[in-house]
Amino acid sequence: MENKNMEEMNELFYRDPYKRSFRAEVVECIQGKDAWMTVLSDTAFYPEGGGQEADHGTINGIEVFDVHRKDGKIVHYMKGPVEAGMDVECRIDWDRRFDHMQNHTGEHIVSGLIHRKFGYDNVGFHMGKEIIQIDFNGPLTWEDLMGIEQKANQIVMNDVPLHIWCPEKEELDRTDFRSKKELNGTVRLVEVAEADLCACCGTHVASTGEIGLIKILSVAKYKNGVRVEMVSGNRAVNLMREVYNNNRSISACLSAEMCATSQAVEKLKTELQKKDMLIGSLQNQLMEYRLASLADDQDFLMDVEENMDRVMMIHMADRMMEEKSAKTAAVLSKQADGYAYFICSKTVNLAVVSKQLNAQLNGRGGGRQDNIQGFFQSDIETIREVFVKTFTKS
């Protein structure tokens, strides 16, 4: 930030973050590789920085899709040109700007509360299109964060006004505030009473009530601390609406109360595991019967099943090789539009044969020299005929 008082700056997003449109003079407009790079006499477009993404909008109706600080100037990246010296009408994408304001202030509240209660610093911050990521240099549990979330939303409901100012050096020296780096020149402080006081160059709401809702989504170990994901404002409201509707559908599907869907899912999961165990047991019994019906010491053995899973197919082929002493074993499983297959061999180079089989049987798949797997879109009689010719040559 330049060493100026806020009122002297041409950065209108600091004077009035609620400004949606303004007029300015075009200082320069240079054609780049993928954009027209434009500098204005004044701007309300916030440039990407401090973890916050840039504003979007239009200049004289031409799209502004990115904004950055470059060589002491704020450069607007546009999809078309404007002439230097022109007086232009500029409009901010307000939905995007207000979303950034809600989420940035929400992050300050959460980071400030964590710093006050646990002493941890925010060592990384990224405002993505869907979620906010914050990195802290200490451990936090889900229970810790639920307590922080409750306190954060109480501050939202209290509609606490933000205090934003650039103190003189003497005041700054005696002020205790959060900052991720050493600061030079004018320092801009953002204060949320009873939650946070932090150096920040981003845009914020005027009072916490405008955030509406803060929701913490996850926490995971990251480097020497944790990474927390969260959303605020309309993002949080939209997400909670989606989660509620999904939970409502699950509740109806499982005939469970909405507050008991997780228990109902766990019950269903247990029942499915029991059924899977029963199916596995029955498949093993079927495998024993199938193996008993197959001849021993054959050059080639083939078994055809219905809807056998891949693991059981491999297991069956291995046992055909080991217990029946087959030199080549093929297991096929009937599907809706053809046959899944697994073939293993001690004597045939299946990596070479695979291409021939796929060509003759409208197949796809492959593998190694000793085993291949895939799918044939053909009838069983044709498959059997091709297999016999391929694997029983003298």
Task: Give Cα 3 distance to the centre of its chain.
Answer: 39
Check residue 265 and give its pLDDT.
95
**Quick one: which of 45, 170, 148, 147 has its CA closest to 96?**
45
Check residue 8 and give its pLDDT.
44
Distance from C-alpha of 103 to C-alpha of 127, rounded to nearest angstrom: 8
Count the Cβ atoms, other than its own, within 10 Å of residue 323: 12
Check residue 6 and give its pLDDT.
43
Q: Kindly report the CA angle at 135 between 133 and 138, in degrees rounded to 5?
A: 145
- For residue 359, give both structure tokens: 């060509």
DSSP-assigned letter for residue 209: G
**Quick one: which of 46, 50, 51 has its CA closest to 64?**
46
Beta-carbon-side half-sphere exposure of residue 198 (alpha carbons within 13 Å): 30
**Strand 300-306 versus strand 328-335 pairing type:** parallel
Q: Are 145 and 230 in contact (CB under 8 A)?
A: no
Check residue 180 and give its pLDDT.
65
**Alpha-carbon Rg for the chain in angstroms:** 33
Q: Dihedrals φ, ψ of 278, to 5°?
A: -65, -45
Count the Cβ atoms, other than its own, within 10 Å of residue 69: 15
Check residue 245 and give its pLDDT.
97
Q: Are 136 and 226 in contact (CB under 8 A)?
A: yes
Low-confidence ranges of the chain (pLDDT < 70): 1-9, 180, 393-394
Please give the sequence-ordered ranges of beta strands (E in DSSP) within 336-377, or none if there are none.
Answer: 338-345, 363-367, 371-376
Distance from C-alpha of 332 to C-alpha of 191, rounded to nearest angstrom: 69
Residue indicated by tokens 């546009």: 78
Q: Are 196 and 177 in contact (CB under 8 A)?
A: no
For residue 163, CA distances in Å to 196, 293, 378 come to: 11, 84, 74
Distance from C-alpha of 322 to C-alpha of 281, rounded to nearest angstrom: 21
- For residue 348, give both structure tokens: 């045939």
In b/e form, how buried is each residue of 139-155, taking b as 16+ CB within 10 angstroms? ebeeebbeebbebbbeb
Check residue 184 and give its pLDDT.
74
Q: Kindly report the CA angle at 333 between 329 and 339, in degrees rounded to 5?
A: 100
DSSP-assigned letter for residue 337: T
Burial class (CB in 10 A: 0-12, 13-18, 19+), 224: exposed
Angle between helix 142-157 and helix 94-118 axes, rounded to 10 deg: 120
Check residue 283 and give its pLDDT.
84
Check residue 355 and give its pLDDT.
93
Angle between helix 350-360 and helix 380-391 axes, rounded to 10 deg: 150
**Strand 189-192 versus strand 162-165 pairing type:** antiparallel
